Amino acid sequence: MKKALYVFWQCTFGILQTLVGLAHLFTCLRCPHFWYHGALVTRWQYRASVSLGLFVFVTDEMPYYDRVAGQMTRQQLQQRLLVHEYGHTIQSLLLGPLYLLVIGVPSTLWGFLPGLAKKRREQGISYFSFFTEKWANALGEKVTGETSMQQMLID
């Protein structure tokens, strides 16, 4: 019942980002897909991950694995990333049509603006310390009962 409600809510209140995710899914049809707590997850070969309503796209490359290789397996890191991205889908449920503006834009700028990436690297600031990412970690952990990315340094 919870999964059906999750899907229904993403397809109504979260329809904007779900439609963007659906359109994006068509570009990734050959990638592996699986269901995770009601979200359709796609593993792709891009270096970044993104959550768009009902759809989660997670990197299969794990470009930052070398930073944590002695602390956990690649599969454990992938699972933590999945919990984090799932947290973004919960933000979508809560914010509905505001998700892209409140979470999507700030998160994208935080992740991809070269000046911010340089600042994170030079000052040892975790990507996951930004409000959008910290909140996604907390929501993902609360809903799934699993560990997320926490304050890992990935830059």
Domain count, the chain: 1
Residue 1 has pLDDT above 90, yes or no: no
* CA gyration radius, the chain: 15
149 lies in some domain = no
Which of the four pLDDT bands, split at 50, 70 and 90, describes residue 2?
A: confident
24 lies in some domain = yes
121 lies in some domain = yes
**CA separation, residue 143 to residues 79, 128, 131 (Å):** 14, 18, 18
150 lies in some domain = no
Q: 69 phi and psi, to 5 degrees? A: -55, -35
Say how far residue 82 (Cα) sits from the centre of its chain.
7
pLDDT one-digit tens code per residue, 69-117: 788 888 999 999 999 999 999 999 999 999 999 999 999 999 999 999 9
153 lies in some domain = no
154 lies in some domain = no
Identify the three-state secondary structure at position 69: coil
pLDDT one-digit tens code per residue, 21-58: 999 999 999 999 999 999 999 999 898 999 999 999 99
**Which residues on adjacent β-strands are paired with residue 52?**
55
Please give the residue range of the domain that contains residue 62. 2-144
